[in-house]
Structure formats: C-alpha cells, structure tokens
A and B are shown apart, each in its own frame.
Chain A
C-alpha cells in the first residue's frame, strides 16, 4: 500500500475505528496469558457466580464454575481470531483459485465451477456448517474444516468476474502477442491485478466466520468446554441468565466488538479499492 492510500485510509473514520478494534483484539489474543489474572480453565467453586465488581479479585465476575470471566474472555479472543483467520484463509484460497480458473480457462471449467458455486450458495452457510459439524463431530479442528469449505462462493464469484474483465484488457493481449505462456499470463498479469479485491472480500468474511463459529459454539457444536469459546460461553451462561446475565452478555459484547471491527475494516478497505468510489489502483 502506498503512502497516498494510507492517507486516504486515515480519512475514513469507520475504517480507522475498525482497524483499531482489530488491532486491539489481536493484541489481546497474542498477550492473553500475560494480561489475564488466571488460567481460563482454573476455577474455584467457592467463588462461583460472582457479579461484576462484586469481588476485587474478579473484575468481571465469575461463571458457574467459579472461573474468572475476564481471563476467559481474553483467552476467547485467541480462539475466535484463530477460527476467523484460518477459516477465512481457506475460503479465500479455495474461492480465489476456483474463481480465477473458471474465469481464465472458461468453457467446461467455468460451467463446472459455477455450477458448484451456485449449488453451494443455495444452502445457507450456517446450515451447511451445522450439517458438516454434525457429520465430523464437534471440536476446534473440525470447526476450521467446516467453516473453511462453506463460505468461499462470494470470493469465487468475485475472482471470476475480476478475471473475466482483466482477461479483456489490452495488456493481456499484449502478453499473448509477445508469446507468454498461459501460466505466465495467469501468474504475472491476471493474478497481481485480481488479488486486491479478493483480499478485501477475504477481510470482510473474517467477521462472518467468527459469527458462525460463535453460533455453532452456542449450539454446542463448536469448540468444546473448557475452551473459552465465546459462543460456547454464551450458551453455558444461558442457564443462569436471570441470576447472572453477565455470563451471556459479556461474551456477546466480545463477539460484537470483534465482528464489528473486522466488518468496519473490510468496508474501509473495500471503499479504498472500489473504482466507483475512488481510483486507487491506477
């Protein structure tokens, strides 16, 4: 990113807020062991269900097992980020490769890939992921798999349409005229020009992935206790909602902040790169 576009990014308030939130969550995730006063799985049943500020040892209270909520929330950032990044990386790679292949090679490739995309798109992502988790069994690793292969359709379509439009550019024709191989045209001319919007869509999808991971956790199919996954925590707190609402509300706020951060950042990046708002790529 050049100096100029960095400046333009700085002028977008929403994007800056998004970036700040994302950096904050990343910082927490990296330094969770240093920041949190207790281990996330360590509990004392004598201190169970303490409210926010009720006890000076537990800043944000404790859950039904007497575990420190603050520590669990901080460690939860690790899981959510990991799920979001890994799943979205898989989605972006799968969608990007399939989309570029469909757009560049066309014909049968395009027909098959677009059929696959449309078929996948007709199943709601959450339902699809739910079915996969039911098939694979709950757990963090399966969560990566289930989320990583369900949400690539948007990226695929974008990559395809971008490739189709770049394919018609004169510089691709020039590359053909100087005798470039198909692979060289793909790697040197099409990929570098198609990559920016694909990455932006990828960033936008991180929030989605985190949200779906939390939903699966809430349904008991995601990360399993005692892992402090926010969705799982939300579900565990449901039973005590009338007596101890913070057990559900706090993970909810954590999810909100993280997803909001990624969405604002993604939107900002999209505005930055979208030729309709401003010519950046030229």
Chain B
C-alpha cells in the first residue's frame, strides 16, 4: 500500500478490555474487541465496515476517534486542522496524539450516532446543539454563529426556524439530520458514521443515505460507514471491510466483494441477506454454533470452528492478510482455492 492518497491509515490497531475479578480486581482475562486491525481510507471515499453484533465494528470506529483509548497500534491521519502555515496537511498519529493536539484534531473528525434519540441533549435547543462546536473551538460568535447554524440546518434539509426548538419536537429522521448538522459544523474531513440509518424507518433510511451522499459531494467528506445492513452498505460504499471477532477478514471494492467473495465468512454473511423476491430460492449457509467469545478466541483462524471449508491448517495457523490482486484483501488460507458463491442483491 502506498500512503499517497490515504486520509486515514490504521495499522495493527488493538483494543483489549480487561476483565477484572475478585476483591483485588485482578485482571483475569482480556476481551479482544479489536484485534490487529489494518485498514486505510482514501480521501473522499466511503469505506463500509460490516460484521455481526459484537464483531468490534463500533469499537473500531470509536477507537479511531480516540473516544476509546487504543491498547496499541497506529492511526495515521492527514490532518488539516493541525497543518502549519503554508501547508495543506500534516501527518499525525491519532493513537499517540497528546490531549492538546487532540482537541484541534477534533475539528477534522466527527461521528454520527446510531440512536437519534440519545445523541441529542434534551435540555438544549437545536441551535445550541449545532452551534456548540463553534463555541468550543471559538470559530464564530453572536450573529455570525447564528447564520452559520442556519446554513448548516439548511444543508441537512431543516428549516432555520427549527433552531429554537428542542430535540423532542422532532422525528427520528429529523433528529438524525440535526446530528449530521452538528458533525458538519467544524467542517471535518472524516466522519465515522456508526450505523446512522439502522434505527430509522426504511422509508426514512433512503432519504438520510441520499443526504449523506450529497453532503459527501458538497463538502468532500470521507466516511467510515459502520453497518450491518448489507444492502445499505452496497448502496453507499466504495469499498467494504468485513469484520469477524475483532479482525478484518476481507477488504475490497464493493462490487468485487459482492460478486467474488474470497472469505467463507463473507459468503455466509451474504447468504443471510433477505432478498425482496418471493420467487427467488436462496440456499442459505447456516453457520453452526455461536460466535466464539472474544475473551478466548479459537486457535488458528478465528473462523475455523464454524467454517464448512476448514482444513487442518486453519486450526493450527493464523492466516495473514493477503492481496489477491487489485486490492482485494482476504485473511483465509484457502482464499485462492475456494470458489465461493456471490450474492444477488436487488
């Protein structure tokens, strides 16, 4: 991988949560929520991050924003806010950035939450919520701030006179738009969208997704789009990373992933997608057993106990990430040998 046009490069990111027990609260085990994740996002791109519940998608997103402190690893970021005079950007490692720099870094990266109900402070007006970033970073005050908030609300499809209202007066979709306006207030480069539409009605989902796409065009945003709904991911992502038990098992261009999956887990995940056609007979791959505990993951390939193609090597050796050509990364010993079924979506 060359690092020319990557806005964000995550290298060997780990986040372990200690499990404490007993009176002395000794650490008896580690939950490996994020376990050696490598990924990179190009400027202006949307990288989808999919996986089932508990696979570490959300933890990955929050660790990248340093909302959760990483255990180890590098998060190289091309920051505009920290760039000195005469420079367009400066390369900085978010994982080791000191507190002071972190505050300035916040201007470059924002988050959109899954739950539009708990993401807005019920005691603040919409104007105060969207305007708060401008206060905190001393960007605009008084009339100037007000007009900036109006602009922001307009850009997410809300009316300026919504400013004086409280969040409870809005619907889920509208609240999500308010959250997006807040994220846009600092003119960020990267937005981590943590399942931004999964809490919304299907009819509203499309509206919000289209809005996110429009905003990406308008403001040159880069998205890390976390989701579990594959049809949403297919619609919005340029590339997709599939996570399983804290690790990325496959990463490639969206079309390629859906047409030529190169990891048995991806195949199984895809086969679970509901297809809105009653006549279409789909042969679903039913995975045996549960997701293993991230406290005590299986040996070798984490997926081998549930994998129908597993061979001896899978149990013994952990596979490494391999480029199968054209930027299609898979973490499977048998990636070249298997011919896995693609999925028909829509």
Contacts and interface: CB of A to CB of B under 8 A. Distances in A.
A188 B136 CA distance: 12
Interface stretch (B90-98, B107-115, B250-258): B107-115
A171 B185 contact: no
B113 A180 contact: no
A192 B110 contact: no
Given A170-B113, A173-B111, A178 B133 contact: yes
Nearest to A195: B123
B263 to A, nearest CB: 32
B65 A177 contact: yes
Interface string A183-222: 0100011001100000000000000000000000000000
Contacts of A184: 136
Contacts of A180: 132, 136
Nearest to B192: A177
B111 A177 contact: yes
Contacts of B118: 169-171
A174 B107 contact: no
A177 B121 contact: no
Contacts of A192: 121, 123-124
A176 interface: yes
B186 A171 contact: no
A53 interface: no
Contact of B122 (A176, A179, A188, A193): A193
Contacts of A107: none
Interface residues of B, number: 28
B67 A170 contact: no
A175 interface: yes
A282 interface: yes
B166 to A, nearest CB: 10
A176 B132 CA distance: 11
A178 B182 contact: yes
A177 B94 CA distance: 13
A281 interface: yes
A229 B118 CA distance: 49
A174 B137 contact: no
B252 to A, nearest CB: 29
A169 B106 CA distance: 19
Chain A binding surface SS class: helix
A282 to B, nearest CB: 5
Contacts of B110: 177-178
A177 B122 contact: no
Contacts of B106: 177-179
Contact of A178 (B119, B124, B185): B185
B67 A176 contact: yes
Nearest to B132: A178
B120 interface: yes
B294 interface: no
A179 B103 contact: yes
Nearest to A181: B136
**Among B109, B118, B124, B186, residue most surrounded by chain A Cβ atoms (within 10 Å):** B118
A189 B111 CA distance: 18
A169 B168 CA distance: 16
B121 A193 contact: yes
B110 to A, nearest CB: 6
B179 interface: yes
Given A178-B182, A179-B103, A179-B107, A170 B132 contact: no
Interface in B151-195: 168, 179, 182, 185-186
Nearest to B102: A179
B153 to A, nearest CB: 16
Contact of A171 (B65, B103, B107, B119): B119
A150 to B, nearest CB: 30
**Among B67, B110, B123, residue most surrounded by chain A Cβ atoms (within 10 Å):** B123
A282 B119 contact: no
Contact of A189 (B107, B113, B121): B121
Given A178-B185, A180-B132, A173 B67 contact: yes
A194 B136 CA distance: 22
Contact of A174 (B103, B122, B123, B179): B179
A178 to B, nearest CB: 4
A19 B121 CA distance: 31
Contact of A177 (B67, B115, B120, B124): B67
Contact of A179 (B62, B124, B133, B168): B133
Contacts of B107: 179
Interface string B129-146: 000110011000000000
B170 to A, nearest CB: 12
B118 to A, nearest CB: 4
A175 B132 contact: yes
A174 B119 contact: yes
A100 B343 CA distance: 52
Contacts of A171: 118-121
Contacts of A177: 65, 67, 106, 109-111
A179 B115 CA distance: 21
Nearest to B120: A171
Contacts of A174: 111, 113, 119, 179, 182
Contacts of B111: 173-174, 177
A177 B132 CA distance: 11
14 contacts: A177-B109, A177-B111, A178-B137, A178-B182, A178-B185, A179-B107, A179-B136, A179-B137, A180-B132, A181-B136, A184-B136, A188-B132, A189-B121, A192-B124
Given A174-B113, A192-B123, 7 more contacts: A169-B118, A171-B121, A173-B111, A177-B65, A178-B137, A192-B121, A281-B122
Nearest first, the 4 closest Cβ-Cβ pairs linking A and B are A179-B106, A170-B119, A192-B123, A178-B133
